[in-house]
A and B are shown apart, each in its own frame.
Chain A
Amino acid sequence: MGELVVDKHVKYILSVEKRKDSFESVVLEHLRMNGAYWGLATLDLLGKLDALDSNEVIEWIMKCQHESGGFAGNIGHDPHMLYTLSAVQVLALFDKLNVLDADKVANYISGLQNEDGSFSGDEWGEVDSRFSYLAICCLSILHCLDKINMEKAVNYIASCKNVDGGFGCTPGGESHAGQIFCCVGALAITGSLHHVDKDLLGWWLCERQVKSGGLNGRPEKLPDVCYSWWVLSSLIMIDRVHWINKDKLVKFILNCQDTENGGISDRPEDAVDVYHTYFGVAGLSLLEYPGLKAIDPAHALPVDVVNRIFFQK
């Protein structure tokens, strides 16, 4: 079995930003903020965050903030909860949360809570349990959870639970590992995991492991490295991670590396991208792969960063 090619992944991450020569790389500029989080969180887990000029990144992030307090995916774009959490997470990585007006960001988020406790992603009103996670995680990092109606927020998430123990986008929506991570993560942060049927959900989650050792996100789907994060972090939060075969999963992730040029893909032999590189490394971190920083399964930030946020105030 190969090992994690740390230096090559660092090189790959640093090179991604400079690549402006293909349609595929340019066309995703509207979510550059997410890209920044995936790339920088990977560097931090690999212990190489200092390979990059933080001032430049922070300056750019602050240019993406709107009057409303929310952040856009890039300069000149509209704000959305998706990018607001990524912006706050990146600032947390650099220990620069102090450049933020926390109240302003928190007001943006609390302004998006609806009467039934759910959250809209932005002013246009789409509702999704994912947005509940984004709101709760972000407010938790900013120490502002008191700005929302927590009881209603939790009850809404609980209403997205299905007969199979999983969670969907809205009440009655199909269970999906990504949605499950969001709902379990939000419930974990708010201390409401009693809403989860742990054995039932754990059962569904561990059935995501397929023969190759990889995890899929829904029944009958192919395994994909990003689910190493969504499924694994959920299993850890509900204390059922021993229900899957960890060694086989480590092997699967390592097999998805581009050992020549760095980066990790969704499946062996596919093209690499930052998104899967982050989720691969984050998954290995959850699996306690040697040499990696530990990651917090609910906040999706390195444990030392989370400790700094909560115990150094």
Chain B
Amino acid sequence: MREESMILKGNSLSLLNEFELILESDPLIDEVGFIHPSQFVTLNKEASSSLEHEDANFWSRDHKLAISTDVLLPLYKAVKDVFMHAISQYKSHENLSDASWDEGNLESEVMKHSKALLLLSCDFGTAWNFRKLIVSKKQHMLIFLDELFLSALVLSCSPKSEKAWCHRRWVIKMLAGKCSTMQVIVGKESELVEKIAERSKMNYRAWNHRCWLVSYMTTEQVLHELKKSRNWAGLHVADNSCFHYRTRLMLRIREDHCHKLEDGTSDGNDEIYRIWQEELDWNEALIKCYVGREALWLHRRFLSLSWIRHFTTNVGDTSNYRVCKSSINADIGVFMDNELHLANSCSTIPDNEFEDFQAQAIYSATYILWLTKQISDSQGIELQEKPNLGSLRTMLNTACPERSSLWDISTRISGKCDEGLKENRYQRR
């Protein structure tokens, strides 16, 4: 029994050595994956060039590394043991401030084992921390960039790893102010998020990272990002995170613009007005093209409410917005007419493709209720031409009875209605 476990341990140590050797011999590995051993055969068939490494446990070629799922457990146990051993040695020598300790050697042990460990357990915080500790002692640009490379490698197999994204932010904060290529780094970060978001849909951590980057961007970069992300968003209309990213960019643009107005370097709202109008038009086109997408309607809520607060005059606004107010005085009633028209056109349900169109009808009606409530709540104004909220409510009560309390409160905003959706547009089957 005892002998058996010794053999097992010996085996896992040789696995570990093999793994770390592969990582060391090709420092440019940029993608790692865990695959079932049966898939190794398929990989080999596809391989056109010669393999750099291949056996029953690991496979690597063109800087891509595959690890067999069969060895994950023993490999992880071995890596964790050597890592824990290395950090305890590192800590005890550091505490003794022992002049004779071979700092460089202990450090490289910790760096080597933490890398192997993080590829298997992406959120092992202590391993990330020790890397931060060692790297911050060096304060060397290239070593910081290596950390970005490692965290990208971890993200290639664990795109949602919170600690890997966090490690990037730590590195960027360390570089900020010290590094002349900050803009380039921020641009590359943004591209990395887009690449990962392509493979890992609706990845909150990835998009949160991109939002965080915005405060490090120049105004020109922000405008460029807005332009660039539009295409992606149009192809991923269900990904709310990308629309939120655009929200973040637009608010930053408006903020920058307000500062310009304050210090007199700009005197008009035309630029901001154009950006908002374009986004509204584009969003409308997407809504008509992709029927029943929640993220599109939620984005419209943001666009419309901020449009009304920013560009219309008959709204009691907060000081923040008043600064930006100038030549464009749009009428809130005209704006709402247009929105009602859009909602109207989205509430017809043809007999075929019932479900998407039903969703579209619900989203459009909810959108009008939401907007009306926000306007009267936060602005304290009455719409001159109220949408026919009563009929909207009837429709929503039939379609989504579980939210009846919500429909009740949102239509308590009373008043006579001249315009609105016609109840009978909604045909129940």
The residues of A with any CB-CB pair to B shorter than 8 Å are 21-23, 26-27, 30-31, 72-73, 76-78, 80, 122, 124-126, 163-164, 168-170, 172-176, 199-200, 202-203, 206-207, 209, 218-221, 242-245, 248
Contacts and interface: CB of A to CB of B under 8 A. Distances in A.
Given A30-B126, A199-B409, 18 more contacts: A23-B72, A78-B129, A122-B125, A122-B129, A126-B170, A168-B211, A172-B215, A174-B204, A174-B240, A200-B377, A203-B370, A206-B403, A207-B294, A218-B240, A219-B240, A220-B202, A243-B406, A244-B403
B26 interface: no
Given A26-B77, A164-B301, A174-B207, A203 B406 contact: yes
B381 interface: no
Interface residues of B, number: 56
A172 B214 contact: yes
Contacts of B126: 30, 72, 76-78
A30 B405 contact: no
A242 B405 contact: yes
B230 interface: no
Given A163-B306, A199-B409, A220-B202, A174 B208 contact: yes
Nearest to A248: B402
Given A164-B302, A243-B405, A220 B295 contact: yes
B247 A125 contact: no
A220 B170 CA distance: 31
A161 to B, nearest CB: 13
Interface class of chain B by DSSP: helix
Contacts of A243: 403, 405-406
B306 to A, nearest CB: 7
Nearest to B303: A163
A127 to B, nearest CB: 9
Contact of B204 (A27, A78, A218): A218
30 contacts: A21-B73, A22-B73, A26-B77, A30-B123, A30-B124, A30-B126, A31-B123, A73-B125, A76-B84, A78-B125, A122-B125, A124-B132, A125-B170, A126-B166, A163-B247, A163-B306, A172-B211, A174-B204, A174-B211, A174-B245, A175-B244, A176-B204, A199-B409, A203-B410, A206-B406, A207-B294, A219-B240, A219-B298, A220-B294, A243-B406
A242 B76 CA distance: 47
Contacts of B302: 163-164
B208 A173 contact: yes
A84 to B, nearest CB: 13
B298 A30 contact: no
A-B CB proximity, top 5 nearest: A245-B402, A174-B244, A23-B72, A219-B240, A23-B73
Contacts of A176: 204
A219 B208 contact: no
Contacts of B173: 125
Interface in B362-418: 366, 370, 373-374, 377, 402-403, 405-406, 409-410
A164 B207 CA distance: 18
A124 to B, nearest CB: 6
B169 interface: yes
B109 to A, nearest CB: 16
Nearest to B205: A169
B212 interface: yes
B144 to A, nearest CB: 14
A220 B240 contact: yes
Interface class of chain A by DSSP: loop
Contacts of A174: 204, 207-208, 211, 240-241, 244-245
A244 B402 CA distance: 6
Given A26-B76, A168-B208, A169-B208, A219 B295 contact: yes
A221 B72 contact: no
Interface in B112-144: 120-121, 123-126, 129, 132
Nearest to B77: A26
B238 interface: yes
A122 B128 CA distance: 12
Which of B76, B125, B366 is most buried by chain A, counting CB atoms within 10 A of its CB?
A: B125
B239 interface: yes
B47 interface: no
Nearest to A172: B248
A13 to B, nearest CB: 23
Contacts of A163: 247, 301-302, 305-306
Contact of B202 (A78, A199, A202, A218): A218
A78 B129 CA distance: 8
A221 B212 CA distance: 22
A271 to B, nearest CB: 16
A101 B89 CA distance: 29
A172 B129 contact: no
Contacts of B298: 164, 219
Nearest to B402: A245
Contacts of B208: 168-169, 173-174
A199 B373 contact: yes
A243 B211 CA distance: 31
Nearest to B121: A27
Contacts of B293: 220
B125 to A, nearest CB: 6
Contacts of B403: 206, 209, 243-244
